[in-house]
Amino acid sequence: MENITILGSTGSIGTQTLEVVEKISNEFRVYALCCRKNIDLLKKQIAKYKPEVVCVESFEDKKALENEFRNTKVLFGSEGILELAKDKKTDILVAATSGIVAVRAVIAAIENNIKVALANKETLVMAGEIVMKKAKQFNTPIIPIDSEHSAILQCLNTFNNPYAKRLWITASGGPFLNNTREEMKNFSVTDALNHPRWSMGKKITVDCATLVNKGLEVIEAHHLYNFNYDNIKVVIHPQSIVHSFVEYIDGSFLAQMGVPSMHIPIQYALLYPKRFEGIKTNSFCPFGKTLEFLEADFEKFPLLNLTIEAGKQGGILPAILNAANEEAVYKFLNKEIKFLDIEKIVFEQIEKAQNIINPTLDEIFEADKITRQKINLIKA
């Protein structure tokens, strides 16, 4: 049995990971759980899965949990997360927190040779070069959870396939695929959260509506699979059945298909390279009658191009873009700005940015912090 630690256990990926672990409970044991402040749900998870260790954000929550669960060790704050990430009793660390807190945790796990199942986007977007260099140095596997990167891994069958020529990342196109820019101007938070295919956390759902999410996935794929940006393509596939495909040098394309459920890539990441029974599909063909593939509209969704460009430039630009986008998305979710203001804010920060090539982790975090401060000074 392998010990699993889940950072972000109360979130969309975290809760689904627990559902998967429950199904294949002969293979895994929940060793540790970590969230920020959803203590009600964490308490239910502690009662059900009986982890040895948990971690929360505040000291007050730590104290309260210690009083209630006498057999559970309770850590807190960013030091607590780091301690958890280094804990050698963990066999697999599931990095499923949102935000930048996962970056140092993933690096700590890598340095301690703990296999990482990676959902968190910021880790590779902000610090892809540093993280992948460490993973190579310590020979620690990083297995992606995101459905697109999981699909690519399944099509490549290894992290380094010399016959693969191009990676094709599919995108549903989000809720505004068929709307004009004029219409997008007035779209509300409810409109942006109405994703046609996937049910996810709010921030990533808005990123799907702007297609930033797809740009971030291109950056992640570049780092994970060591592919040049020119050989990573984005294709719109509204049905979200083909999760990505790989083009080989002989003209063959291998695609991975599945119903849109994160259970499949989560299970694949936990068990890799083994497979186990999973979602049952009884109908003759569970994918419907039509699969469409359309060109991405870079004019309608300018943040897609900007995100990929920031990835190409590298340095601290992806961190600046990520921070600007996240802050702008939260302003939009709080109804402080309109939907198209998200791109205005992100473009402004990238246009003003002074890049640093080969930055240290501290420089990346500093760029993140300064960008967030600048955006929070902007009045709506």
124 binding ligand NAP? (CB under 6 A): no
Stretch that binds ligand NAP, among 21-29, 90-98, 245-253, 292-300 (CB under 6 A): 90-98
d(CA 315, CA 42): 37
Q: Which residue is nearest to ligand NAP (CB)?
A: 11
Stretch that binds ligand NAP, among 61-69, 196-204, 277-285, 364-372 (CB under 6 A): 196-204
Assign 199 to helix, strand or coil: coil
- In the complex with ligand NAP, the residue whose CB is nearer, 46 or 247, is 46
| Residue from the set 23, 24, 27, 38 that interacts with ligand NAP by CB under 6 A | 38
**Nearest CA among 72, 71, 8 for reference residue 41:** 8
Stretch that binds ligand NAP, among 95-103, 168-176, 289-297, 346-354 (CB under 6 A): 95-103
In sequence order, the β-bridge partners of residue 95 are: 7, 118
| Residue from the set 141, 201, 260, 302 that interacts with ligand NAP by CB under 6 A | 201
Burial 309-339 (b: 16+ CB within 10 A, else e): ebbeebbbbbbbbbbbbbbbbbbbbeeebbb
d(CA 375, CA 367): 12
121 binding ligand NAP? (CB under 6 A): yes
- In the complex with ligand NAP, the residue whose CB is nearer, 29 or 43, is 43
115 binding ligand NAP? (CB under 6 A): no
Contacts of 105 (CB under 8 A, 6+ apart): 7, 81, 82, 84, 85, 93, 95, 97
- In the complex with ligand NAP, the residue whose CB is nearer, 165 or 263, is 263
57 binding ligand NAP? (CB under 6 A): yes
- Could you tell me the smallest distance in angstroms from the CB atom of residue 205 to ligand NAP? 8
Stretch that binds ligand NAP, among 9-17, 168-176, 271-279, 305-313 (CB under 6 A): 9-17
| Whether the Cβ atoms of residue 219 and residue 307 lie closer than 8 Å to each other | yes
Q: What residues between 203 and 262 interact with ligand NAP by CB under 6 A? A: 204, 262
* DSSP codes of every residue in 71-87: TSEEEEHHHHHHHHHH-
- Could you tell me the smallest distance in angstroms from the CB atom of residue 251 to ligand NAP? 30
| Residue from the set 33, 34, 132, 328 that interacts with ligand NAP by CB under 6 A | 34
Between the alpha carbon of residue 14 and those of residues 22, 204, 266, the distances in Å are 12, 14, 10
- Alpha carbon dihedral 90, 94, 100, 103, in 10-degree steps, equals 50
H/E run at residue 169 = strand 164-171
Binding residues for ligand NAP (CB under 6 A): 8-14, 34-38, 57, 96-99, 101, 119-121, 146, 198, 200-201, 204, 262
